[in-house]
Structure 1
Amino acid sequence: MAVSAEDFDHRCEPCLVIDQQIEAHGFCVDCQEYLCKNCFSYHQRIKATKHHHLVNKDNMAKHAVIKESDECTEKCQVHKKEVIKFFCPKHEALGCKDCIVLDHRACDIDYIPDKCTGIGDSAEFREVLRELDQKVNEVEDIIKLAACRENELDSCHDRLIKEITMFRKEINDRLDQLQKQIQTDVDRKKFTDKQAVKNVVETCTNISSDIKQRQSRLQDYKASQQNGQLYIILKQAKSKLKSEEIKEADRSLEKTNMQYTFEQNQDLEDMLSRQNAFGKLALSSSL
C-alpha cells in the first residue's frame, strides 16, 4: 500500500525545493536539514558538505534543533496556502516552494531558514534601516511641502476670485456709464420732440382762435351793416388765409414722426458671444 506525503514524519528539504515529496531517511546536524536517501548520499560526496555530521533516521530527532526565530510563517501572496521560505537573489523575489518550481527553477535559490540567522546584526539590516529612515524623512518633507502648497493654493484662489470680481465691477461701472449716456440722449430727444409737439399745438390753437374771432367779427359787421369795418376785416381775413403758419406747424409736427430704436453695438455683441469673452484661467509653471 502506497504511503502518502501526509504520512511522512519528515520530508527531504532539498527535494521540496523542486516540489518532490520524499520521506527523509537522514539528517545533517550542520545544515539542520532532513535528507532523503539520494540527498543523504550526495551530501557525503560533495566537497562542501562531506565533513558534515550526518545521522540516520533513528537518530534524527536527537540532533534536530528547531529555532522558532528562524521559522517562516508569512503566507505567499500567490499560493495562499503555502509559506514563503525561499529568496531568489537574481530576481530579488521572495516565494514559496511552488513559486520556486514555477518561476525560478534555474536560479540559485536561498533557503531562508539557513540564511536568516544573525540577520538582525548584519550590515544589510543596518543599511535598510538607514534607508527607511531616509525615506521617512523624504515623505515628511513632502507632507510639509504639501501643507505649504495647500495654503498657497488657497491664497492663489482667493486672489484670483478677487481679481475676477474687481474686473467684473470695472465692466459693470463702465457699462453703467455708457448706459447713462445713451439714456441721457434718449431723454434729450424725447424732451425736444415733445417741446416741438407742444409748440405745434399752441400755434394751431392760436390760429384756430384767431380764425374763429375773425368769423365772428365778419358776421357781426354784416349784421350791423358796418360795411367799412366789414371791408377791412374781410381783406384781413383773405390775407390771413394766405399765411403759411398751418403748413409750417404741420411740417414741424412731421419732424417728430419717428420711432425710437436702440441699435446694439455689434462688436460688443460679437465679443460677448465668444467663449472667453470675459477672460480665461491661465496656468503658470509654478505658484
Structure 2
Amino acid sequence: MEVAGKRVDIDTESAVGESSLCVSCEVEKVKTPACGACRECNEKMCTTCFRYHLRGKLCRNHVFLSLQEFCSLSLCSGLEDVTRCEKHDNELIKFYCRSHDIVGCGDCIVLGHTSCKPEYINDLAKSFKDGDTYKSIAKLLEDLEKQKTDYEHEIEKGKYECENMNEKALKGLRDFRTEINKCLDEAEAKLLSQMKILRKENTETKAKIEAVLQSFTSELQKVKQMLDTQLYRDNALFINAVNCKSKLADIEKMNEHSTKDMALKGFKFVRNDQMSALLKSRLPVGRLQVCHIECRTKETAKQKFCVGTRVRRKPKYQMGHTVPGTVTRVTDKTVTIKWDELNCTQMYDITDDTFEII
C-alpha cells in the first residue's frame, strides 16, 4: 500500500531483477537494484536514494511504491491514454462514426462527422466483447498469429534448405573438378607413357649405333694400318692396297646395312587444339541454376513449379516420358516442359501431380 514518506527496508524488497536499476545511482555510473519507484517522479530508486530524495522540500510528500505497484500504475496510465483524444487536448473519446469506422471526441464529431450519425461508445461497448465484430477481429488476429508462426517455421526451414543447397552445389563443383583433374591426369599419364617408350627405343638405337661405330672404327683402323707406308713398302704395300679395295667395299656395305634402320626418333609436345581453345575462351567450369524458393506453408501448384525447375515423371507414371525435362513457362493453369532427349516441348495442366522435382 502506498504511504507518503514511507521508508522501505531493503530486505523487504530484495527480490528485484537486475533489469530494474536505480536511476539516481546510474547517474553516478553505479549499478544498484531498484527496490521501488517514486510515484510523482516516475523513477525507479533504491531505498538509500529515496531517503535522500525525501530530504528535499519539494519531494518531502512523495510516495514510494513497490515495483509491482509501480508496474500496475504504469499499465493503468496506458489504458487511460487510450481513451484520450490526441488531437483535442486529451478530451475523452466518446463517439464512434460507423461511416468512416473511426472513434473520436466531441470536437472530432462536431468538426467532421455531424452528418454521419455518430454513436456513443458507452452504448456500443456493453455487448461488444460478445459480438461478431470482436470475434471476427480476434479470429483474424489468431489466424495472423498462426501465419506468423508458420512463417517463422518456413524461415527456419529456408535457412536449412539454403545451407543444404550450398553444400550440394559445392559438392557438385568439387566432384566435377575431381573428374576434370582425373581426366587431365589420365591424359598426361598417357603422354608420359609414350615419351617413356620413345626414350627407351632411342636409348636402344643409340647403343646399336655405338656398337656399329665401334666395329666400323676397328675395321678402318686395320685398313689404315695395312696402308701405312712406314710399315709396308714396295711389293707388300702394293699387295695390301689391292686387298684393301675389296675390304673397304665390304666395310662400306656393312655400314650401310647396319645403319639403315637405326635412325633416332625425334619428338616434341604439341598442345591439343580443342584444349587450347578452351583455355583461351575462359569458359566457366559450370553454372548455377537459380530458382525462387517461396516461403509458404501451403504450397500451390504455381509456386511448386517455376521457370528452370528440373522435373521428371513419377516412377509409377514412367510409361511415356522417362527422361528429365526443364520447366520453360508457368501460368495460373498450365506448366510447359521441355524434355531433354525427346527434342519436344509439351504443355500440361498446372494441377497435374504426375511430375516430381529432381
- Give me the TM-score of the superposition, normalised by structure 1: 0.54
C-alpha spacing 1:238/1:115, structure 2 compared with 1 (3 Å): same
Q: Deviations over 1:151-208 (max 9, x none)?
A: 2332333233223222222222222111111111122223323433343333223212
**Alignment equivalent of 1:208, drawn from 208, 217, 225:** 217
Q: CA, structure 1 residues 151+109, in 2 after alignment: closer, same or farther (shift >3 Å)?
A: farther
Name the residue aligned to 2:154. 145
Is 1:108 matched up with 2:108? Answer: no
The reply to whether residue 72 of structure 1 matches residue 79 of structure 2 is no
| Partner AA of 1:185 in structure 2 | Q
Please list the CA deviations of residues 34-66 of structure 1 after superposition, one character each: whole Å capped at 9, or x if unmatched.
Answer: xxxxxxxxxxxxxxxxxxxxxxxxxxxxxxxxx
Q: Name 1:278's counterpart in structure 2.
A: 285
Q: Give the number of the structure whose residues are more often helix, by fraction.
A: 1
Structure 1 distance, partners of 2:200, 2:105, is 100
Q: Is residue 96–residue 121 contact of structure 2 (8 Å, CA) maintained in 1? A: no
The aligned counterpart of 1:260 is: 268
- Counterpart in the other structure of 1:230: 240
Shift, 1:209, TM fit: 2.5
Calculate percent identity across the aligned residue pairs. 14
SS of the equivalent of 2:227 reads helix
**Against the structure 1 CA distance between its residues 111 and 209, is the aligned structure 2 distance closer, same or farther, given a 3 Å change threshold?**
farther
Residue 29 of structure 1 corresponds to: none
Tell me the CA shift for residue 74 of structure 1: 6.2
Distance 1:152 1:237, change over 3 A: same
CA contact (8 A) 2:97 2:119 kept: no
Q: Distance in 1 between matches of 2:125 and 2:81?
A: 7
Name the CA distance, whole Å, in 1 between partners of 2:201 and 2:156.
68
Q: Which residue of 2 aligns with 1:121?
A: 129
- What CA distance in whole angstroms lies between the structure 1 residues aligned with 2:245 and 2:82? 144
Question: Equivalents in 2 of 1:83, 1:259: separation in Å?
Answer: 103
1:260 Cα shift? 0.9
Match of 1:245 in 2: 255
AA paired with 1:73?
A: R
2:245 corresponds to which letter in structure 1? K
Residue 186, structure 1, aligned to residue 195, structure 2: yes
- Structure 1 residues 187, 143: closer, same or farther in 2, change over 3 A? same
The TM-score normalised by the length of structure 2 is 0.45
Q: Distance in 2 between matches of 1:241 and 1:179?
A: 45
Amino acid of the residue matched to residue 275 of structure 2?
L
CA-based RMSD: 4.5
Higher relative contact order (CA 8 A, sep 6+): 1
Output aligned runs, 1:34-49, within 5 Å.
none
Are the counterparts in 2 of residues 87 and 111 from structure 1 also a CA contact under 8 Å? yes
Tell me which moved more, 201-210 or 111-120. Answer: 111-120
Q: Deviations over 1:215-241 (max 9, x none)?
A: 113327515964586255433444246
Greater strand content? 2
Aligned counterpart for 1:154 among listed residues 163, 168, 171: 163
Read off the aligned partner of 1:282 and give its amino acid letter. Q
Deviations 1:253-275, CA, capped at 9 Å, x for gaps: 4x54x4513222x3334445557
Native 8 Å contact 2:129 2:135 kept in 1 = yes
Partner of 1:135: 144
The 1:203–1:114 alpha-carbon spacing in structure 2 relative to 1, beyond 3 Å, is same
Q: Please give the alpha-carbon distance, in whole angstroms, between the structure 1 residues aligned to 2:92 and 2:254.
A: 121
Residue in structure 1 matched with residue 175 of structure 2 by the alignment: 166
Q: Distance in 2 between matches of 1:283 and 1:181?
A: 39
Q: Which runs of 5+ in 1 are unaligned?
A: 1-67
- CA gap of 1:111–1:276, structure 2 versus 1, over 3 A, is farther
Deviates more, 1:211-220 or 1:117-126: 117-126
**CA 1:93–1:233 in structure 2 vs 1: closer, same or farther (change >3 Å)?**
farther
Q: C-alpha separation between the residues in 2 aligned to 1:165 and 1:112?
A: 73
Unaligned residue ranges in structure 2 (runs of 5+): 1-78, 292-304, 310-356
Report the structure number with the largest CA radius of gyration: 1
**Is residue 226–residue 241 contact of structure 2 (8 Å, CA) maintained in 1?**
no
Q: Secondary structure at the residue paired with 1:121?
A: coil
Residue aligned with 2:136, SS:
helix
